[in-house]
């Protein structure tokens, strides 16, 4: 809550309350309440009914209300006309313009400026998301709390994303899952949820028997320690090749994996080592991406009893079928989900069986650790696995788990389209680290093209890395999730257009305007007191436009939760940056009279804070200099 915002509201006049309105965090809510209050009186309708009718979609003004939705006696046009006539400007709303069955409202500019900039100033410093959600366990990674809300307070979730397979390439599907999943985790936290980030590794199965056999002939301890992810893949490729010639290798692999399944400590020790080293390496790479996990789970971590219980229950059910060869399968054709095998003829479980067991295991773990199950569990997996996810959700439902019933809305598959043309020079197999290295190198080359600027960059390596990753992430999140896109180096690394580098560049520029002016003696204090700022001087249309964008940030965070599209946040970030880059021309700081210069600096700082918050929500690391 913003104390300054409270003062502004006290000065403007009392507002009614509404459960969805939080005017001390979301400035636009104050204006919605003010409009709703007038409407409610004029139409003699409850505030609840009219509040939701106040929409921000107007091109003509700031808010619009469509009268037909009230289903009043008489013509909507006449009601609109009467209310527009009766309208009296209050501190919040300056003007009401009637247009047929609509009224368009213009917000009072002075109120908008004061309320928005005060709220940003108050909330961007100090207050944390943890305080907001009351979810002390959630290790929120977002620093700015302006934009956050408490709608998810008390709710908890698991979000599973990335989930690569040990000893196999980290393909584009994993990359997208990583980027989108990390974003969604931040988004739910920003909306007040308790969030656990889970990585469900492909870390079990016959391929680990194969890997162990290959290790004897091709393993290199030093290489393993140096880069486990790449080396295990090399060993894996080599052993698969060898197995084409030597058929006994597959038998050996099967035996080895059998020993692992039976819990043989020697067989498990090697696998454990591969797993631990791989996770350590993944963690480093994720850290480079500004991404982390709370739990490294995986196919190996599904307890035998959970798999067995699930299978027993399935076998006793009326939806089970036995194949001629003895395999156990479930017929989901009446749900248009085909048939799915849950137990092979040799009695071993499959990918889907583990997912079924794991889901229940996660539920129980939540109940045990937190006293209740999760309100949501999201799986961020490429659209290639749509059928798999739908099948295993359906099986959980048929098994009768209350939490898996679609009506509960807890289980959700977040899918996404393909990345076209992503390959690495180093071969067709792609590893996350190689992608990041290559991005960094390419970004570094782009930066070098501008000699003068490049000479001023303090740490070009680090800068190239951070900006390069912003490029990859923004390219990934700029479109609707379900769309495919083409991995386009030139486009994504450009400082122009809707790119990650453009966002970084604008953030840096917003940081540097303060630094430069401070050097020339014009210093905005760290703790701005909004009451001392000459807000009436921010009267230009460009200033208002920018402030309106900044005021809409809390709405954008709510909207993104509804549509679960990273592009909702990306588009917002570009609206802000485009407006800021136009504003430099109109809202000069240099050479202006002190009060005006300071209040403009303050506006730029608020823009910087909001832009940084949007970038952080998208998992970007906003740079101070570059």
Q: Which residues are catalytic?
A: 168, 171, 174
CB of 169 to ligand ARG, least distance (A): 10
Of residues 67 and 170, the one with the C-beta less far from ligand ARG = 170
Query: 195 - beta bridge partners?
Result: 157
- Shortest Cβ 157–ligand ARG spacing (Å): 15
| DSSP state letter for 73 | S
In the complex, the smallest distance separating the C-beta of residue 96 from ligand ARG, rounded to whole angstroms, is 52
Task: Tally the C-alpha atoms within 13 A of residue 422's C-alpha that lie toward its C-beta.
Answer: 28
Rounded least distance, CB 372 to ligand ARG, Å:
22
Nearest distance in Å: CB 205, ligand ARG: 10
Q: CB of 300: closest distance to ligand ARG in angstroms?
A: 12
Cβ closest to ligand ARG, residue 165 vs residue 361: 165
Helix (H), strand (E), coil (C) string for 295-315: EEEEHHHCCHHHHHHHHHHHH
User: Smaller CB distance to ligand ARG: residue 267 or 381?
Assistant: 381
Using CA atoms, how far apart are residues 104 and 285, in angstroms rounded to an integer? 50
Closest CA to 348 of 307, 310, 305, 390: 307
In the bound state with ligand ARG, the residue whose beta carbon lies nearer, of 299 and 514, is: 299
What SS3 state is found at 63? strand
Give the torsion sign (CA, 15, 19, 21, 22).
Answer: positive
Report yes or no: 413 and 393 within 8 Å, Cβ to Cβ: yes
Minimum distance, C-beta of residue 354 to ligand ARG, in the bound complex (Å): 8
CA–CA dist 539, 598 (Å, integer): 14
Nearer to ligand ARG, 350 or 538 (CB): 350
How far are the Cα atoms of 122, 234, 250, 262, 480 from residue 273, in angstroms, in the given order? 49, 17, 22, 18, 40
- Which residues, 6+ apart, have CB-to-CB distance to 612 below 8 Å? 143, 144, 507, 622
Q: Which is nearer to ligand ARG, 184 or 464 (CB)?
A: 184
For 365, counting Cβ atoms within 10 Å of its Cβ (0-12 exposed, 13-18 middle, 19+ buried), the class is middle
CB nearer to ligand ARG: give 389 or 611: 389
Place of tokens 């399944």: 261
Cα(183)–Cα(159) distance, rounded to whole angstroms?
11
C-alpha 364/C-alpha 371 separation (Å) is: 10
Q: Torsion angle, CA of 59/65/69/71, rounded to 10 degrees?
A: -140
Using CB under 6 A as the criterion, which residues of the chain lie in contact with ligand ARG when the complex forms?
A: 160, 163, 165, 200, 202, 355, 379, 381
First to last CA, the chain: 34
């Amino acid at each position: 809550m913003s104390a300054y915002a409270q003062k502004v509201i006290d000065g403007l006049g009392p507002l009614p309350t509404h459960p969805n309105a939080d005017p001390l965090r979301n400035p636009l809510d104050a204006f919605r309440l003010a409009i709703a209050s007038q409407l409610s009186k004029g139409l003699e309708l409850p505030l609840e009914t009219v509040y939701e009718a106040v929409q921000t979609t107007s091109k003509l003004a700031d808010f619009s209300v469509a009268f037909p939705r009230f289903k009043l006696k008489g013509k909507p046009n006449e009601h609109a006309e009467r209310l527009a006539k009766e309208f009296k400007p209050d501190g919040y709303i300056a003007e009401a313009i009637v247009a047929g069955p609509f009224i368009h409202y213009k917000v009072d500019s002075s109120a908008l400026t004061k309320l928005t900039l005060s709220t940003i100033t108050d909330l961007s410093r100090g207050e944390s998301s943890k305080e907001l959600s009351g979810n002390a366990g959630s290790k929120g990674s977002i620093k700015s709390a302006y934009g956050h809300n408490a709608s998810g307070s008390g709710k908890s979730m698991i979000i599973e994303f990335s989930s690569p397979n040990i000893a196999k390439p980290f393909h584009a599907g994993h990359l997208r899952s990583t980027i989108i999943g990390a974003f969604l985790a931040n988004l739910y936290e920003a909306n007040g949820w308790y969030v656990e980030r889970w990585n469900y590794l492909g870390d079990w199965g016959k391929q680990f028997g194969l890997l162990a056999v290959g290790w004897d002939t091709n393993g290199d301890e030093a290489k393993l320690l140096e880069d486990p992810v790449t080396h295990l893949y090399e060993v894996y490729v080599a052993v698969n090749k060898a197995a084409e010639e030597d058929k006994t290798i597959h038998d050996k692999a099967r035996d080895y994996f059998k020993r692992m399944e039976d819990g043989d400590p020697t067989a498990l020790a090697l696998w454990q080592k591969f797993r631990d080293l791989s996770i350590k390496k993944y963690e480093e790479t994720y850290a480079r991406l500004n991404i982390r996990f709370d739990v490294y789970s995986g196919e190996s971590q599904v307890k035998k009893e959970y798999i067995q219980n699930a299978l027993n229950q399935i076998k006793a059910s009326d939806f089970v079928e036995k194949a001629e060869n003895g395999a156990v399968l479930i017929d989901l054709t009446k749900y248009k989900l085909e048939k799915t095998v849950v137990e092979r003829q040799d009695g071993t479980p499959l990918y889907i069986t583990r997912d079924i067991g794991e889901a229940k295991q996660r539920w129980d773990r939540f109940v045990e650790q937190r006293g209740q199950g999760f309100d949501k569990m999201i799986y961020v997996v490429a659209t290639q696995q749509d059928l798999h996810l739908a099948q295993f959700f359906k099986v959980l439902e048929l098994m009768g788990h209350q939490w898996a019933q679609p009506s509960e809305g807890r289980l959700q598959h977040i899918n996404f389209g393909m990345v076209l043309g992503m390959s690495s020079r180093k071969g067709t197999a792609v590893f996350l680290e190689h992608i990041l290295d290559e991005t960094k190198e390419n970004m570094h080359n782009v930066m070098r093209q501008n000699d003068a600027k490049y000479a001023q960059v303090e740490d070009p390596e680090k800068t190239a890395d951070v900006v390069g990753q912003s490029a990859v992430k923004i390219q990934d999140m700029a479109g609707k999730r379900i769309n495919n896109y083409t991995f386009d180096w030139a486009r994504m690394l450009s400082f122009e257009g809707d790119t990650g580098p453009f966002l970084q560049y604008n953030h840096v520029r917003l940081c540097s305007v303060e630094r430069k002016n401070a050097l020339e003696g014009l210093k905005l204090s760290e703790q701005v007191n909004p009451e001392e700022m000459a807000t009436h001087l921010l009267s230009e249309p460009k200033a208002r436009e920018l402030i309106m964008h900044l005021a809409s940030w809390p709405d954008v965070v709510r909207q993104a939760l509804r549509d679960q599209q990273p592009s909702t946040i990306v588009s917002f970030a570009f609206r802000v940056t485009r407006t800021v880059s136009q504003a430099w021309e109109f809202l000069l700081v240099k050479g202006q009279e002190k009060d005006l210069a300071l209040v403009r600096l303050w506006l730029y700082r608020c823009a910087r804070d909001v832009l940084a918050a949007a970038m952080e929500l998208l998992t970007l690391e906003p740079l101070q200099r570059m």
